[in-house]
Chains A and B, each alone.
Chain A
Amino acid sequence: MRLHIVTGKGGTGKTTVAAALALALAAGGRKILLCEAEGRQGIAQLFDVAPLPYEERRIAVAPDGGDLYALAIDPEEALLEYLDMYYKMRRAGRALDRFGVIDFATTIAPGLRDVLLTGKVYEATRRRRPAKRFVYDAVVLDAPPTGRIARFLNVNKEVAGLAKVGPIRNQGDAIMSLMRSERTRIHLVTVLEEMPVQETGDAIAELREAGLPVGGVVINVVRRPSLDERARTAIADDEVPDDAVRAGLVAAGLDDKPQVINGLLAEARDHAERLALEAEQRRVVDRLGQPIFELPQLADGIDLGGLYELAADLRDQGMA
């Protein structure tokens, strides 16, 4: 697999998963490029580095010596680069910029903006060294959220509506053939809540309809069950007597005031209820028919160390 595209509903941790996947892919001496396309500088924040310019920069070293590079793609810079690279029109590009053409074009024709963003990913994915080897072993794209992903990747359709022939159209066709190819996978990040799971299902249906290759579903922030299923059922059915809890507290040498007992029981009931809902959503995810990967909830939130843990989890599950 050469191109991994990661999407998900806002708030599910799509950038975190894209970064963890990129780190996992880089392990063992490979060179990976992680791109973001939304101008949010999420990667820089995650890796705690200065905001990324429009330039590929090494931001982390993977276990066993791989290199992770990152790039924040800016559509206007991408257009200037594109004009220069394919038409040798650097000066004209600046003139276009001065007249507000680039801003206008990327605004009025969103398909064009997407061609520029995906076009840069396409270029990086296929770039080779003089010795014919690819520069990057794989590229990971932190893509727009599920609600916009099919339209974002289906640039061909957008462009076809605007330009029937011409260089932009050809560029769109070339990008599309990479997006649809066996070397590309689109992964979806979700959490086990109703709305994100529903959006994941909708996005998979849209992607399939557009002939785009769906990869794995990554369930993020999976809670570790502190109580087994039998205990959870008993708690949900109100069958755990106060005295049983009190006995445990006394044995542990803790305060056994009613406030403590009621507090623990209330927490356990919330937990049981939440896990029951998650199990229900988990069954929905199972029915989506895609490979499933799971990432645990990190107690201390996400930091660089946490990212390496998540990367190791993805490797263990065979995603990278």
Chain B
Amino acid sequence: MTAPKRRRPGPRVGPLAARLNDIPRLDVDALLADRGVRIIVCCGSGGVGKTTASAALALRAAEQGRRAVVLTIDPARRLAQSMGLTELDNVPRAVRDVDESSGGRLDAMMLDMKRTFDEVVEAHASPEKAAQILANPFYQALSSSFAGTQEYMAMEKLGQLHRDAKAGDRWDLIVVDTPPSRSALDFLDAPERLSSLLDGRLIRLLLAPAKGPTRMLSVGVRVVTNAINKVLGTQVLRDVQTFVAAFDTLFGGFRQRAEATYALLKAKETAFVVVATPESDSLREAAYFVERLSRDGMPLAGLLLNRVTINPIPGLTFEQATTAAERIAEDHPVTAGMLRLHADRARSVARERRLRRRFAAAHPRVSTAYVPTLPRDVHDLAGLREVGALVVGA
């Protein structure tokens, strides 16, 4: 039994903490300028603008003197083209038209998950064994479509880039976009999940017949193999065994790398930026994320709230604008239309403020930066630069 801890003055909770003005501001420029920060991970639920945010942060860092590389997962085509990401060769390429006058530079790459996996296999197995693995149907299924492979490979690529960055002096900052997962947390769990999977009793079970056919099998083992044979057919079990046996020599290496990546995510040089939009789903995912990062001791820089509605006329309320629009609808239809637009906007602002207050009440110490809604899509460097300027409030 441990002695009961003395209560320390914790963060304020309840209505007092939920004033919007009390939310600490995430100073993005300070984050980008901090040479101690060498990895920035952008995470959040699907469709919140993670890719754009990572590219914008990397570009701003580069133009302020960092030698940055951004790993994107699935960028919009036009954005990919504007960054020169047309070659799918799974290595970073220099982005052109970046302002390098402060001594920085920007490289970018798009993750090719199957290729990354293949490269890991090739790097760790003899050529014959690698060929055998690459041809196995289970390996092909695992490497091209396992729901966690993209997450795992993103982390693997991050590990590679980090080793390259350490070895040479090409980069001093890696910005990583994370895959549009089922849940935003998947990529945190992917390395762990894969390594525990490869460590499991089943692997040993499947390897046993291959290693010693005369070995006595326990009743439990027989129940399991019989069940597999009955449901999947004997061919499947043989394929799995071949795969597992071929992979056997790689398991140790995989586990080590998974653990190294996980440790890297917890390191001081890493900063997580949770990206969200002011909507309830997205903020709920963001809240899960913030809680998970703190539980795992992972360094959270803050929340980047994207697509925030801005009210340019704070004094004009929804009610005033709506009433006024009705009054002048006949004689001044254009001004009336503009007032209705403003009313909609004022209402959205009120709704978003409510959601932000709720988030802040539960997570009062999460620093936040804001990017207002843009009327157009971002698909070139100028657009990324604009997002970068908006995020620091310039």
Chain A residues engaging chain B, CB cutoff 8 angstroms = 9-12, 38-40, 42, 45, 83, 87, 89, 91-93, 95-96, 98-101, 103-104, 107-111, 113, 144-145, 147-148, 151, 158, 161-169, 193-196, 198, 226-228, 231, 234, 240, 244-245, 247-249, 251-255, 259-260, 262-271, 273-274, 277, 299-301
Measured between beta carbons, the chain A residues less than 8 angstroms from B200 are 99-100, 103-104
Binds A, one of B20-28, B325-333, B362-370: B325-333
Q: Quick check: B47 and A11 within 8 Å, CB to CB?
A: yes
Q: Quick check: B341 and A299 within 8 Å, CB to CB?
A: no
Which 7 pairs from chain A and chain B are nearest by CB? A11-B47, A10-B46, A248-B335, A166-B233, A248-B332, A252-B324, A263-B312
Which of B76, B201, B282, B375: most chain A Cβ within 10 A?
A: B375
| Chain A residue at minimum C-beta to C-beta distance from B312 | A263
Query: Nearest Cβ in chain B — how far from A98, in angstroms?
Result: 8
Is B77 an interface position by the 8 A CB rule? yes
- Tell me the complex Cα distance, A107–B332, Å: 63
Q: Quick check: B137 and A161 within 8 Å, CB to CB?
A: yes
Q: Quick check: A83 and B202 within 8 Å, CB to CB?
A: no
* CB-defined A-B contacts under 8 Å, sample of 28: A10-B45, A10-B47, A11-B282, A92-B224, A93-B227, A95-B227, A96-B224, A103-B200, A107-B148, A110-B141, A162-B236, A165-B233, A166-B231, A194-B379, A226-B341, A227-B338, A231-B334, A245-B338, A248-B331, A251-B332, A254-B320, A255-B316, A260-B315, A262-B312, A263-B312, A268-B338, A299-B348, A301-B351
- Tell me the complex Cα distance, A91–B223, Å: 9
Looking at chain A's contact residues, is the secondary structure mostly helix, strand, loop, or mixed? helix
Q: Quick check: A255 and B233 within 8 Å, CB to CB?
A: no
Q: Quick check: B341 and A92 within 8 Å, CB to CB?
A: no
Measured between beta carbons, the chain A residues less than 8 angstroms from B332 are 244, 247-248, 251-252
Is B256 an interface position by the 8 A CB rule? no
- Tell me the complex Cα distance, A244–B336, Å: 11
Q: Quick check: A263 and B334 within 8 Å, CB to CB?
A: no
- Tell me the complex Cα distance, A241–B61, Å: 41
Within 8 A of A (CB), among B209-253: 220-221, 223-224, 226-228, 230-233, 235-236, 239-240, 243
- Tell me the complex Cα distance, A196–B331, Å: 40
Q: Quick check: A277 and B376 within 8 Å, CB to CB?
A: yes
Q: A87-B231, A163-B233, A268-B341 are in contact. Are A251 and B46 (CB under 8 A)?
A: no
Q: A83-B231, A103-B197 are in contact. Are A263 and B146 (CB under 8 A)?
A: no
Measured between beta carbons, the chain B residues less than 8 angstroms from A265 are 338
- Tell me the complex Cα distance, A162–B315, Å: 65
Query: Nearest Cβ in chain A — how far from B231, in angstroms?
Result: 6
Q: Quick check: A195 and B147 within 8 Å, CB to CB?
A: no
Is B382 an interface position by the 8 A CB rule? no
| Chain B residue at minimum C-beta to C-beta distance from A274 | B375
Is B86 an interface position by the 8 A CB rule? no
Query: Nearest Cβ in chain B — how far from A226, in angstroms?
Result: 4
Measured between beta carbons, the chain B residues less than 8 angstroms from A234 are 334
Q: Quick check: A95 and B220 within 8 Å, CB to CB?
A: yes
Is B337 an interface position by the 8 A CB rule? yes
- Tell me the complex Cα distance, A108–B148, Å: 10
Q: Quick check: B227 and A92 within 8 Å, CB to CB?
A: yes
Q: A151-B145, A168-B232 are in contact. Are A260 and B313 (CB under 8 A)?
A: yes
- Tell me the complex Cα distance, A194–B80, Å: 13
| Chain A residue at minimum C-beta to C-beta distance from B338 | A264
Q: Residue-by-residue, is B270-285 near A (CB-CB < 8 Å gives 1, otherwise 0)? A: 0000000101111010
- Tell me the complex Cα distance, A91–B227, Å: 10
Within 8 A of A (CB), among B302-345: 312-313, 315-316, 320, 324-325, 327-328, 331-342, 344-345
Is B377 an interface position by the 8 A CB rule? yes
Select one of B202, B337, B345, B375 contacting A101, CB under 8 A: B202
- Tell me the complex Cα distance, A253–B339, Å: 13
Is B182 an interface position by the 8 A CB rule? yes
Q: Quick check: A147 and B180 within 8 Å, CB to CB?
A: yes
Is B78 an interface position by the 8 A CB rule? yes
Is B266 an interface position by the 8 A CB rule? no
Q: Quick check: B377 and A193 within 8 Å, CB to CB?
A: yes
Which of B78, B137, B182, B337: most chain A Cβ within 10 A?
A: B337
- Tell me the complex Cα distance, A98–B202, Å: 10
Is B183 an interface position by the 8 A CB rule? yes
Within 8 A of A (CB), among B277-302: 277, 279-282, 284
Select one of A89, A158, A274, A301 contacting B141, CB under 8 A: A158
Query: Nearest Cβ in chain B — how far from A269, in angstroms?
Result: 8
| Chain B residue at minimum C-beta to C-beta distance from A162 | B137
Measured between beta carbons, the chain B residues less than 8 angstroms from A167 are 230-233
- Tell me the complex Cα distance, A300–B208, Å: 60
Query: Nearest Cβ in chain B — how far from A218, in angstroms?
Result: 15
Measured between beta carbons, the chain B residues less than 8 angstroms from A10 are 45-47, 180
Q: Quick check: B236 and A101 within 8 Å, CB to CB?
A: no
- Tell me the complex Cα distance, A254–B375, Å: 27
- Tell me the complex Cα distance, A66–B336, Å: 42
Measured between beta carbons, the chain A residues less than 8 angstroms from B336 are 248
- Tell me the complex Cα distance, A214–B342, Å: 39
Is B135 an interface position by the 8 A CB rule? no
Q: A9-B46, A277-B377 are in contact. Are A169 and B233 (CB under 8 A)?
A: yes
Query: Nearest Cβ in chain B — how far from A37, in angstroms?
Result: 9
Select one of A262, A264, A271 contacting B339, CB under 8 A: A264
Q: Quick check: B182 and A263 within 8 Å, CB to CB?
A: no
Q: Quick check: A264 and B313 within 8 Å, CB to CB?
A: yes
Besides A11-B48, A108-B240, 20 new A-B residue pairs in contact (Cβ under 8 A), listed by A number: A10-B45, A95-B220, A99-B202, A107-B142, A110-B147, A162-B141, A162-B236, A163-B236, A166-B233, A226-B344, A245-B335, A245-B338, A247-B332, A248-B331, A248-B339, A254-B320, A259-B313, A263-B313, A268-B338, A277-B376
Is B129 an interface position by the 8 A CB rule? no
